[in-house]
Every structure is written in structure tokens, then in C-alpha cells.
Amino acid sequence: MEMSREEARRRAARKRAAAKRKKYRRRRLMVLAAGLLIVALLVVGIVSLVTRAVKKNQPASALEPTAAAASAVADTLLPTAAMTALPTAVPATPIPATPAPAIQADWYIERTEQLYKNLSTYGNYPDAASIYRALDKMQIDPNGKMLALTFDDGPYPPITGAILDVLEANHARATFFIKGAYVDANQDLVKRELGLGCEIGNHTTNHDDLEKLSPADRRTTVGDVNDKIYRLFGYRIHLLRPPYISYGKKGSDTREDIVAMAKELELAIVNHTRSSHDSHEDYTAQMMIERILAEKDELGRGLNGSILLFHDKYQKTVEAMKVIIPALQQQGYQLVTVSELLNCSKEGLHYGWIYSKAD
């Protein structure tokens, strides 16, 4: 029997409708599968976090020493970074609010590899397991409170060593803005700073006032410190603290040139938010302690996110640190390096940017 044209058209329409339904079913299945995958990923992340937390509470011997490869370190520490990145990528999940600021996984891995390199090259650790334990203590919770201790004008024996003793005893880290001219005679101190997971910043070769130098001389006094630290220790500096907080008035040619130089040399310009006033002759250790631990500074700013300024060249600074470091830790502050603080901030770390000084 011959099909009428009308029936053929109807049949074709039914076929199309069936194909469409099939396609929708397939799509629904795919959406469901993707949902399940996301849930599974979250469960794996949470389990790995819990496992790590449990491991942390076990005696040290329970931690297995593994091959001393930097990539292994990255794998060990990845879950934290991956977990913080995950909720941003997958918004419709039962996970609580997106951590802010979130840690960038790439940066965190690079940072941890650099720390591993410094600890294993310059640190005083008997075996790989103890390096991993030290690295574990250096993990950052991006949602936690944090601040950065900074020390200028060293390395300066015996004070720098005494400051490092206090840091080491408290598993704390800091950033040292060093004078290039002091480095040759004090290489052991720089090595110890790196071996404890501290950061090194540039404070020019001779504590030079950048405003008063020609553009060429600026590049020499700053660039020489970067080169020397890289040549001697294989370490690249990414922070510049201009002595005397002197980097030209806003809008001036001097400022423009100093910012351009910082960009060329891959440096962020970092001042401080709260000074201990340890360079003031009449300031005692007790006054420093009170000033640093005060809930608010004179501008009403709190401690969280602060960059605190000290100098590793006064005995009273050592005495003050013995009180300040445990007190800050007891208040729940993570004592991170300046680069870590900036990388965990909304702004991020950028070469040629000026941080933490109102213009």
C-alpha cells in the first residue's frame, strides 16, 4: 500500500521527536554524571584533608620519609591548594562559602618547591621526613589570620642570629630586607634565614636613598643585591624595601623611574603598615611589645594582614620578639612571609606595585 504524503511527513516528525527525546535523555544522564563526579571529587578532597589532619596528630615517626624529590613535595601539599581552588570552579555545591582570598594553586606549588629547595640546601634537618614535617608547619590557611614580620638592615651579627634563634624556637618565619654590603661577611646568616623558610628582600647595597641617586645608580645599588644573592645562594629576590621609605613623590619622574626599575628587576616595592619603633632610641622592648600587640594602630587598622617593621640590629628587638612571636601565635596569627601575605591578599603580588604606605 502506498503511504500518503501526509503520513510520511507525520512519520518523519515522530522519528525526529523520538531522536530529540533520546538526545535529552542522554544530556540529562551527562549532567547527572558530571554532578556525581563533582561530589566524588569533593569527597576525595575532604577525605585527603581529614587524613592529613589525622596524620598531623600522630607522633612524628608515623610520617613516612619519601623520596626527596621536589615534585613529591608538591603532591604531598597539593590537596590544600586544590581544595581552596575547587569551590570557585564548582559553585553549585554544598561546600561552604568560597574561601577568600583563595590560594592560587600554581603559586602555592612553586612557593613550596622553593621552600623545599631552601630547607634541604641550607636547613639543618637530619632527614627528608623532618623536612616534610617542617614544610607541613609552613602550610597556609588562606582563611586564617596572618601577618608578616620584617627585619631591616641586616645581616648583622650577633643580633640576626639571636632573632633567628627566637624564630626557630617558635617555628616562626619572617622576611629579612638585607643590605648587600653585609652579605659577603655574613653568608652563614643568610643561609640560616633561607634554611628556616624565611624570605629575603632587597634593602639596596649600602642603605642608599633611592631618591637621591641617578636612574643608573639606582639600578646598580638594587640590581647588585639581586645578583649577589642569586650568585651565592641560587635565590631570586622579589621584594624591594627602599631605605628611608624614599621612592619619590607620587606623580614625580623619580617615582616613575623607581617603579619602572622595580618592574625591570621583578620586584614589588614593600613598606610596612606598623612599625615597632625599635630604631627610636627612647623606645624600650616593653613599649615595642605594647605597640605591636595593640589591637588597632593610630589609623584604626587592625593587626590582621599587617606588615610589621623591626630591625635585626638591636638587642631590645630580640627581647621584644621573645614575647611578641608567641603572643601573636596564641592569638591565632599565621606568621607568613611578605610574598605569602601579598599572594594571599585580594590584590596579589605584582612587580612594580607599591604596597602598604599611604601616599
Which residues are at the interface with Zn ion (CB under 5 A)?
A: 152-153, 243
**How many residues does the structure list for the chain?**
359
Q: Which is nearer to Zn ion, 153 or 208 (CB)?
A: 153
Total H helices, total E strands in the chain: 11, 9
CB atoms within 10 A of CB 118: 22
Instruction: State the nearest-atom distance from the C-beta of 152 to Zn ion, in Å.
Output: 4
Q: Which is nearer to Zn ion, 152 or 257 (CB)?
A: 152
* Helix/strand/coil (H/E/C) assignment for every residue in 228-259: HHHHHHCCCCCEECCHHHCCCCCCCHHHHHHH
CB atoms within 10 A of CB 207: 15
Q: Which is nearer to Zn ion, 207 or 322 (CB)?
A: 207
Residue type, 88: T
Q: Which is nearer to Zn ion, 155 or 243 (CB)?
A: 243
Catalytic residues: 152, 311
Instruction: State the nearest-atom distance from the C-beta of 283 to Zn ion, in Å.
Output: 16
8 A C-beta contact, residue 357 and residue 271: yes
Distance in angstroms (rounded) separating the CA atoms of residues 262 and 295: 33
Instruction: State the nearest-atom distance from the C-beta of 304 to Zn ion, in Å.
Output: 25
Q: Which is nearer to Zn ion, 99 or 243 (CB)?
A: 243
DSSP state of 185: G
The CB-nearest residue to Zn ion is 152
Instruction: State the nearest-atom distance from the C-beta of 199 to Zn ion, in Å.
Output: 16
Q: Which is nearer to Zn ion, 85 or 200 (CB)?
A: 200
Instruction: State the nearest-atom distance from the C-beta of 232 to Zn ion, in Å.
Output: 21
Residue type, 119: L
Short-list 27, 138, 134, 39, CA closest to 80: 138
Instruction: State the nearest-atom distance from the C-beta of 356 to Zn ion, in Å.
Output: 15
Instruction: State the nearest-atom distance from the C-beta of 244 to Zn ion, in Å.
Output: 7
Q: Which is nearer to Zn ion, 195 or 243 (CB)?
A: 243
From the CA atom positions of the chain, what is the Rg in Å?
A: 27
Going from the C-alpha of 357 to that of each of 103, 200, 229, 307, the distances in angstroms are 24, 20, 26, 10
Q: Buried b / exposed e across 303-329, counting CB within 10 Å, b at 16+?
A: bebbbbbbbbbbebbbbbbbbbbeebe
Short-list 144, 125, 136, CA closest to 56: 136
